[in-house]
Amino acid sequence: MTKVSFFGAAGEVTGSNFLIETEERKYVVDCGLFQGSDQNTEHNDEPLAYNAEEIEAVVVTHAHLDHIGRLPVLVKNGFKGPIYMTAATAELTGLVLKDAFHIMMSNFERREGEEQKPMLYEEADLNRTLDMFKPIPYHKPQTLFGEDSVTLFDAGHILGSSSALVRAGEKTLVFSGDLGHWPNTLLPHPDKIGAADMVITEATYGGVEREKKQDKLEVIKSAIDWVQERHGVLLIPAFSVERSQELLYLLHELNKLHQLPHMPIYFDSPLGIEALEVFKHHQELYSAEVKKEESTDREIFDFSGLVITPTSDESKEINDEPPPKIIIAGSGMMDGGRIAHHLKRYISHPNTLLLVVGYQAEGTLGRAIVDGAKEIMITDDRIPVHAKVEVVDIFSGHADNDDLIEWLKNIHLSTGGKVVIVHSDPDRSKVYCDELKKIMPQTDISVAVIGESVGI
């Protein structure tokens, strides 16, 4: 019997953390942060539900914080490695974890003297974690222990992202990781995976079809035109990894089509700027189309008007530039990072356009704005919202209902095989579960429950 237990992303989207147990060994897939409301993030402080010292190896699907954010907690609790992932994921994970640590530390120092919880982990735990990364290529089985192995497949979600096929205790488990939506701007279609006894699939957009016809270039172009006409500011809060680089690539495309009006475009995301370098030296991971583009034009993330502002002084100078202007900044859910300063300054202006291109989790500032907040609080200041807020779904890096089903249908499930749904809000996972039951009446399909296990 091989057993999978769900200690995160069960009945919700964040905190991915799955434990695999065979008769002999234990492995972990992903160890992410719980994100969103205070109530949710409190789970991060809870002790791990298993003994980290007993874990033989960890597999990481991709570099998003909700999949990697508690890796140093595992190490702090005695996990000794190795941690398998693709080379691009290892590089991006290093950047994302260091960034997260600095944010955690500065928040901690800001509250010095107040009563507060200890930090989740120390810098030494983080450094030891980074030393345990073992990059492995796609499609090549890596031994975990004895006959147990992991093989990574391209998930097309962010650079280096994977679905993981784990052979454990003579059973084959497939963890979808987060799956990309296609066609994707920079990345290829997710790989097809052969056969499995159990599939653990994300369903962030289970039951939801997204508008596919609306062209990304068109959306950006009309947003730019809107602020140009009004001499306004276009604010695009964007996740530092993938979304930001995708936006730069699309702006490069618009520029090539001579459709980019003359105005400064600031890329004001220190983490995004570092991640851009990882993108630039992993061209082998681009889609065929982008590879072709890159072979004739080396600067696919550059265009006239682009201003990159890594330092905070450079970031402050953005204020001095009169509109119209465009600012791409993190964090993607607007809870912190440099976008906070720009929101503070510009969200009360009616000639500001806030273009929301990413998922906004419950409890975040971004979600409050998207839900129509008339006023927001930023660093103790009450700011009225007069900006135009436009939400576009097409930029989501997540598979929608059709994509999820297509991916799943390509996996041949053994007789008695199981599908477990994770990484989804309760409403959506129920709709998706009901739909799958209709399509696959012979299969045991369930929604993961936090703390519970499914055996095969």
Tokens 């930029």, residue?
395
Nearest to 9 by CA among 135, 151, 171, 178: 178
Query: Min. distance of Cβ 250 from Zn ion in angstroms?
Result: 20
Residues in Cβ contact with 330 at an 8 Å cutoff, skipping those fewer than 6 apart: 237, 238, 239, 240, 244, 269, 271, 272, 337, 338, 339
Q: Which is nearer to Zn ion, 56 or 178 (CB)?
A: 178
Tokens 């600031």, residue?
266
Give the interface with Zn ion as residue ranges (CB under 5 A). 64, 178
Query: Min. distance of Cβ 64 from Zn ion in angstroms?
Result: 4
> Could you write out the DSSP letters of every residue in 397-433?
-S-BHHHHHHHHHTSEEEEEEEEEEESS-HHHHHHHH
Tokens 């488990």, residue?
173
Query: Min. distance of Cβ 28 from Zn ion in angstroms?
Result: 17
Query: Min. distance of Cβ 185 from Zn ion in angstroms?
Result: 16
Terminus-to-terminus CA distance in the chain, angstroms? 6
Cβ count near 319 (within 10 Å): 11
Query: Min. distance of Cβ 90 from Zn ion in angstroms?
Result: 16
Nearest to 254 by CA among 288, 212, 206, 305: 305
Q: Which is nearer to Zn ion, 180 or 323 (CB)?
A: 180
Eight-state DSSP code of residue 113: T
Rounded alpha-carbon distances, angstroms, from residue 91 to 80, 97, 123, 276, 334: 20, 10, 18, 11, 24
Q: Which is nearer to Zn ion, 64 or 70 (CB)?
A: 64
Q: Which is nearer to Zn ion, 73 or 179 (CB)?
A: 179
Query: Min. distance of Cβ 336 from Zn ion in angstroms?
Result: 19
Q: Which is nearer to Zn ion, 241 or 411 (CB)?
A: 241
Q: Which is nearer to Zn ion, 199 or 233 (CB)?
A: 199
